Amino acid sequence: MNTSALDSRVFRNLFGTQEIREVFSDEAYVSCMIDAETALSRAQSVLGVIPAEAGESITQCCEVKKINFERLANETDIVGYPVLPLVNQLVEMCPKGDFIHWGATTQDIMDIASMLQMRKGLQIVRKQLAELIQTLTKLAHTYRDTLMPGRTHLQHALPVTFGYKCAVYLSSIQRHYARLDELEPRCLLVQLGGAAGTLASLGNDITGVRVRKQLAQELQLNDPDITWHVARDGVAEIANFLALIGGSLGKMALDIIIMSSNEIGEVSEPFVPHRGASSTMPQKRNPISSEVILAASKILRSNAGLVLDGMVSDFERASGPWHLEWVAIPESFIIASGALHQTIFAMSGLVVNSDAMLTNLHSTRGLIVAEAVMMGLAPFVGRNPAHELVYEACKTSIETSEGLIDILMKSEQIISKIDEKHLRGLCDPAQYLGGATIMTDAVINRRGAWGNVAINGQLINGTNGVKGMNSANGKIKDKVNGANGTNGHVDSTIETNCTYFESVEGISWYDLPNERGDSNVMKSLAMSNYEVELQMDDSTDSQYEYTLDTAAEGGHEAVAQLLVEHSADVNLQGGEHGNVLQASAAGGHGAMSPADAQP
């Protein structure tokens, strides 16, 4: 029996994906609780808290496929929590079962299971954010110069470009990606506190803290300084992070809904036969994805509030608020991932009607450049008088449907100060974009852990770009071919054969500032239009981990000078590629060395 839109056979794919549902399924949750119990036993075996062989024995015996879910559900109904019923079954499976759940409490296991689920959920969200960044980057580049009306209070304000609008969307998604990098080490914490958080069940010494640290290592979670049974800010931060994503997606969805209305007609969602169709009106193509995204955005904000309520806990163990997370967290992840899926679909196939944008831009007969005229006139008559003159001209244009330029040309007060050529220039929307394209380019070219301007595919101008930049728990061993573009033109090419190490946590040291705060050599060279190949130095007695083989248009001396200016220790040698630049990690570019590749 299905009772909600999330697991409904009818609605579930509108609000989620199979991938994210599997992460938060009953079987997945129970599997994560088993992982918590087995990891605890291994940690305690390592430290001699329980017999050395017990941890491995428990790990081998305890499998989710052996769980009787009907029994688990029935006993959970009685107990109110699933851990005791689960432990009862695990003990029956294992000869060393008496050492299962040693010193732990129910909330320890349930919190760890939730953390493991949330980590997997955030990996999916990370992947989707990266894909959306790629999609929005392409849109921002493609429509960088496509004029359209900017609107405030639903009325024409000033000219913008559709690329600028997409870059605004993109900038928020880039920030969400950065937030994800920041919150994971802060929020993905192991939980082990025992009955009241003090770890007294494991002794009156440092043993409990050592077990918790070892448990964190076993599960690859972060080890907190203190138990967080009733300090739920980390969970609340994750829920609010998902709500922030939902807010950004909801903004895009609302824009698409309004812009796809018949009266505006500037964009429409990808055409799929019968998608958005009406049961009675054959002409309808409703913006279904955007409608779902908008609903998801509201749900995420509501759930964030529930989790915030759960922070208000009594004493050392909550008597109810914790339960809010059981509902809100899985639902938020499914809804957020589903909304990202719908947004990627809508934006990757977005139908953009640039002709309609231009028509709408001119539909107010020049009123959209009224500010431009006012600012052009202000140096001659003062800002306030200029405002009044242009205001009266706009009023006349609205009342008579006459073009603004024609009315302005009739004003002696205006043409006595500004000649016709200058006035017509002021009335050209393309000449009143301010820094829109500059800001658009800045967002497009922003570097980040998502792989600069492309992920697994294309550069912003459609050429092959960065390949293999996706992160999986910080373990990446891919070849990367990267092209750095400015305004759609490839200024430099980097071919890098490299290995990403776990310590880097998925962030390429190609873009990673080193511990001294300088940009690394690769980035410096890339920004200076050098063609660079990075190779491993197989020499065991070499002090250098990597060698930069460089052929530069500007000459090797220029490259050497560049490296010296960036505090690198450089040796210039001959080789099959001509001169070879060897950059020492000790020269301030520690991120070049795997041993020093710390974020």
Q: What is the CATH number of the domain that holds 239?
A: 1.20.200.10
In this prediction, residue 66 carries a pLDDT of 96
Do 396 and 458 fall into the same domain?
Answer: no
SS3 content of the chain, % helix, strand, coil (to 5): 55, 10, 35
Catalytic status, residue 323 = no
Domain that holds residue 148: 12-351
Q: Could you tell me the pLDDT band of residue 303, with boundaries at 50, 70 and 90?
A: very high
In this prediction, residue 568 carries a pLDDT of 52
Report the alpha-carbon distance of residue 44 to residue 552 in Å, rounded.
Answer: 57
Catalytic status, residue 153 = yes
Average pLDDT over residues 538-567: 44
Do 194 and 319 fall into the same domain?
Answer: yes
Helix 26-46 with 54-61: angle, nearest 10 deg: 170
Do 225 and 110 fall into the same domain?
Answer: yes
Two tokens, residue 74: 């029935």
Do 399 and 473 fall into the same domain?
Answer: no
Do 23 and 144 fall into the same domain?
Answer: yes
Do 379 and 325 fall into the same domain?
Answer: no
Do 18 and 46 fall into the same domain?
Answer: yes
Domain count, the chain: 3
Q: Which of 4, 8, 261, 278 is the catalytic position?
A: 278
Report the alpha-carbon distance of residue 461 to residue 489 in Å, rounded.
Answer: 7
Q: Could you tell me the pLDDT band of residue 451, with boundaries at 50, 70 and 90?
A: low
Do 145 and 61 fall into the same domain?
Answer: yes
Helix (H) or strand (E) holding 85: helix 83-93
Q: Could you tell me the pLDDT band of residue 449, with boundaries at 50, 70 and 90?
A: low
In this prediction, residue 277 carries a pLDDT of 67
Q: pLDDT tens for residues 151-198? A: 999 999 999 999 999 999 999 999 999 999 999 999 999 999 999 999
Do 317 and 396 fall into the same domain?
Answer: no
Lowest-confidence segment of 132-136, 493-497, 536-540 by average pLDDT: 493-497
Q: What is the CATH number of the domain that holds 411?
A: 1.10.40.30
Is it the case that residue 333 has pLDDT exceeding 60? yes
> Has residue 567 been placed in a domain?
yes
Which of 426, 456, 477 finishes a domain?
426
In this prediction, residue 320 carries a pLDDT of 86
Q: pLDDT tens for residues 252-263? A: 999 999 999 999
Q: pLDDT tens for residues 408-445? A: 999 888 889 999 899 999 999 999 999 999 999 999 99
In this prediction, residue 399 carries a pLDDT of 94
Q: pLDDT tens for residues 98-107? A: 999 999 999 9
> Has residue 5 been placed in a domain?
no
Which of 351, 381, 415 finishes a domain?
351
Distances (CA, A) of 465 to 445, 458, 478, 534: 13, 5, 14, 17
Average pLDDT score, the chain: 80
Do 530 and 572 fall into the same domain?
Answer: yes
Q: In this structure, what is the dihedral angle of CA atoms 178, 183, 184, 188, given to the nearest 10 degrees?
A: -170
Q: Could you tell me the pLDDT band of residue 565, with boundaries at 50, 70 and 90?
A: low
In this prediction, residue 332 carries a pLDDT of 98
In this prediction, residue 119 carries a pLDDT of 98
Two tokens, residue 103: 């010193």
Q: Which of 153, 274, 319, 489 is the catalytic position?
A: 153
In this prediction, residue 158 carries a pLDDT of 96
Residue whose pair of structure tokens reads 């609205």 in the numeric block = 398
Do 377 and 472 fall into the same domain?
Answer: no
Which of 320, 351, 382 finishes a domain?
351
Is it the case that residue 487 has pLDDT exceeding 80? no
Do 228 and 335 fall into the same domain?
Answer: yes
> Has residue 312 been placed in a domain?
yes
Q: Could you tell me the pLDDT band of residue 68, with boundaries at 50, 70 and 90?
A: very high
Is it the case that residue 574 has pLDDT exceeding 70? no
In this prediction, residue 165 carries a pLDDT of 98
Report the alpha-carbon distance of residue 190 to residue 501 in Å, rounded.
Answer: 23
Q: Could you tell me the pLDDT band of residue 564, with boundaries at 50, 70 and 90?
A: low
